[in-house]
Structure 1
Amino acid sequence: MGLKRSNRANAQFNMSSLTDIIFLLLIFFMLTSNFVQIRPFDLPQSDSQTVAPTNIVVELERSGAVRVNSIEVSETVMLHALRDALEEVNDQANATVTIVAERGVPFSRIVPVMNLAAERKARAIIATEPRRG
């Protein structure tokens, strides 16, 4: 009985498992990503066109409300919350602190945030809206 066996490997590649893995990775990264949510403020105007990535958002309102990464804190605890947020960033030297100060907020409230960012060697930028004209 001379039966021949076929030892040929299948040359087709099954993509179904690869697409499942990519889909699961996509869902994982969407769920773990940090979305920056800035409340609509009346921001100062600027001619600058620079768009920078941000790690930490500090929101200052005229009413005195302060938020660090969308968490409301008091004015006295703001620097501690910012210091903690900077320590959570992996690469502090490339960290960016975005200061969203409503138009009319005294600059004396913005300076301590900028000074703390400078001490930690992080960049501090002030969010503005484009000048219409």
Structure 2
Amino acid sequence: MGLKKRSKVSAEFNMSSLTDIIFLLLIFFMLTSNIVQIKPFQLPISDSQTVAPTNIVVQLEKDGATSVNNIDVTGAAISQAISDALAQVDDQDKATVTIVAETGVPFDRIQPIMKLAASRRARAIIATQPRS
């Protein structure tokens, strides 16, 4: 009695073509995507009159003047003054930095203050001009 031999089907999957496709998709998405950049914008006018509790007030004026808790500071002293003021707050978990920005102040001056407050685990609030 003659039995036929069955040919075994390979259960392996060839990954070389799959890696080529993934590589091509990666190149395609890298070439077609845009790099995200924060573009400067004007701060909005506020609709509400909500008053939030605050520990530290940072005032930014359009001419470049900056004050922390009514003390004028300039340049690199701004971050040091905010750090010192945050160190004096009793309850560090509820520390709040209120940024009072005059109309026309670019967001590029506000962003470093917000990052500094976030690095010190403090909340940052931007107080904008109320609607007249």
TM-score interval (norm. to shorter): 0.5 to 0.7
Does the 8 A contact of 1:66 with 1:73 survive in 2?
Answer: yes
CA separation in 2, counterparts of 1:74 and 1:114? 17
What is the number of equivalent residue pairs in this alignment?
90
1:99-118 matched pairs, under 5 angstroms:
99-118=99-118
Paired AA for residue 46 in structure 2: S
Distance 1:129 1:104, change over 3 A: closer
Q: Which ranges in structure 2 are unaligned for 5 or more consecutive residues? A: 1-42
% identical aligned pairs? 66
Q: How does 1:1-133 map to 2 (within 5 A)?
A: 45-132=45-132
Shift of 1:129: 3.1
- Report the Cα offset of residue 67 of structure 1: 0.3
Between Structure 1 and Structure 2, whose CA radius of gyration is higher? 2
State the match for 2:39 in structure 1. none
Q: Cα distance, 1:124 vs. partner?
A: 0.6
Cα deviation, residue 62, structure 1: 1.0
Structure 1 segments of 4+ aligned residues over 3 angstroms from their partners = none
After superposition, the C-alpha distances for 1:93-117 in whole angstroms (9 at most, x for unaligned) are 1011010111111101000110111
Matched residue type, 1:72: D
Please tell me the root mean square deviation across aligned C-alpha atoms, in Å. 1.6
Unaligned runs of 5+ in 1: 1-42
Q: Kindly indicate whether the alpha-carbon contact (under 8 Å) linking 2:67 and 2:73 is maintained by their aligned counterparts in 1.
A: yes
Cα separation, 1, equivalents of 2:111 and 2:104? 14
Question: What does the per-residue CA deviation read over 1:66-110, in whole Å, with 9 as the maximum and x for residues that have no partner?
Answer: 100000011221011001100110111101101011111110100
> In the TM superposition, what is the alpha-carbon distance from 1:44 to its structure 2 partner?
5.0
